[in-house]
Amino acid sequence: MVRERSIDKKENQKLKADVEDLQKYIEDFTTFLPIAVCDVTPIGIITFVNKALQELVDYKEIDIVGEPVETLFLEKKEIEKILAEVSKKEIIRNEELTLISKMEKKISVSLFISSRKDKEGNFLGYFLGIIDISELKKLQEEMEAKIEERTKELREKIEELEKINRLTVGRELKMIGLKEEIKELKEELEKGRKTKEFGNI
């Protein structure tokens, strides 16, 4: 009996050490992750944020854990709608939303949400992966502005060429008209000369 208690105690200590190792591993891994990660309850309350998310929004873990997840986003109704969809679809990728930092800086992000379930399939909440795409959006806006500017320049050149073309065609038509008039005048002169010559005979 004493021996059994001793074995149970050793097994419990080993199990406790294994759980602590696993917790430490998960903590180290989530701290290492460059992607902002957040764990949310079924009713939308934040239970965990990793270091990357804390740095992105300038909040400490203590400030944000226990808060509703929509406090992080500009599009509050949209995030509620997405969470409702995830409970049916299980995963949603690449939703573009705006994250709000502690200093109220707006950050364009791509959001990945997965439902979290236990081994029996009971719904436990959500995992959120948040990728900062503000630099990408800025680059996209710059490219769009350049394309718009280049398109405007090309449009102006096309209009200029069309104007030159109209003037050139106009001149050509005038030249054709003048040539026709000269031809007609020559013909009339020729007729007049022939008539005069015929009259003199």
Q: What distance lies between CA 142 and its chain's CA centroid?
A: 13
- What average pLDDT does range 55-83 have in this prediction? 90
Question: pTM above the 0.75 mark?
Answer: no
Query: Which pLDDT tens digit goes with each residue over 70-107?
Result: 989 999 888 888 888 887 777 888 889 999 998 989 99
As given in the structure block, the two tokens for residue 83 are 């969470």
What are residue 110's phi and psi, to 5 degrees? -105, 125
Amino acid, res. 3: R
Q: Which residue has the tokens 């944020």?
A: 49
pLDDT of residue 21: 67
Sequence-distant contacts of 55-64: CB under 8 A, at least 24 apart: 56/99, 56/101, 56/107, 56/130, 56/132, 57/99, 57/100, 57/101, 57/102, 57/107, 58/101, 58/102, 58/103, 58/105, 59/101, 59/102, 63/102
pLDDT of residue 196: 63
Distance CA(66)–CA(77), nearest Å, equals 19
Distance CA(87)–CA(89), nearest Å, equals 6
Among the residue ranges 10-24, 57-71, 94-108, the one predicted with the least confidence is: 10-24
